[in-house]
Amino acid sequence: MFNSKSAVILGASSGIGREVALLLLSEGWCLGVAARREEALLELKALAPERVEVMAIDVTSPDAGEHLLTLIDRVGDIDLYFHASGIGKQNRTLETDIELQTMETNALGFTRMIDTAYRYFAERGRGHIAAITSIAGTKGLGPAPAYSATKALQATYLQALEQQAHQRGLDIRFTDIRPGFVDTALLNDNFPYPMLMRPDFVARDIVSSIRRRRHVRVIDWRYRILTFFWRLVPRFLWRRMKL
């Protein structure tokens, strides 16, 4: 599938993004890695200095798209843009700052970066955009309103761009990655999350899904069953469920 085996990963400083970066490096890829924290990215560069370019990018910054294009230029002609940047917290008391920060990162920031990658691949003629959304976008989750809402937005946005690319005759592939609970720093609120998955397991599934050009991938089988039944729950019952 990939000729030059080059990619940019946004959100590569920790968690799933870092694990995917490590996997691709082990397979000989050339990478551009970006996140807000540059020091963690330099650790990746130290593993393969000649194949890794580093840039600090904050997706909430208005010029983040320009920085992404600069990073792409440093890497060269990339095949894949992988978006692993995002935040999420339970917010049962609906604290304004948490909701707005989540919206700014997962909605505005996501749109800014995905749009930049899409325009780049449209001009180039081909490419692959993969992004981590979440099973949280399946239904509105009371414990995390902004998080579940932005994840639904992300999934719908990718679907819309996939349709647009097809209608325009563009050879741009999309992979919507929907994990369940993953044991990363994102889940740092001491809540006993069920069915926790290891980041390395999730990363292997993601790389396989990208290679196989999956359109949507729910990780793993337990969450595929869970989300299937979630979709069947009528609204009047869903609002009564305790999560």
pLDDT at 1: 44
Domains and CATH numbers, the chain: 6-238 (3.40.50.720)
pLDDT at 19: 95
Cα separation of 76 and 236, whole Å? 52
**35: which 2 tokens?**
């996140």
CA-CA-CA-CA dihedral for 31, 18, 119, 27, to nearest 10 = 40
pLDDT at 186: 61
Q: Are 71 and 55 in contact (CB under 8 A)?
A: yes
pLDDT at 189: 60
- Determine the straight-line distance between the first and last CA of the chain, rounded to whole angstroms: 41
pLDDT at 233: 96
Omega within 30 of 0 (cis) for the link into 176: no
pLDDT at 196: 81
Low-confidence spans in the chain with pLDDT less than 50? 1-3
- Beta-bridge partner residues of 81: 8, 129
DSSP code of residue 49: G
Residues 131-141: tens digit of each pLDDT: 999 999 999 99
Q: Are 175 and 182 in contact (CB under 8 A)?
A: no
Tell me the whole-structure pTM to 2 decimals: 0.93
* Closest to 17 measured CA to CA, from 111, 82, 88, 80: 82
Classify 11 as helix, strand or coil. coil
pLDDT at 128: 98
* Closest to 188 measured CA to CA, from 89, 121, 91, 102: 89
Amino acid at 79: D
* Backbone dihedral angles phi then psi of residue 41, each to the nearest 5 degrees: -70, -35
DSSP code of residue 187: -
pLDDT at 191: 66
- Note the helical H segments in 35-129: 38-47, 64-75, 96-103, 110-124
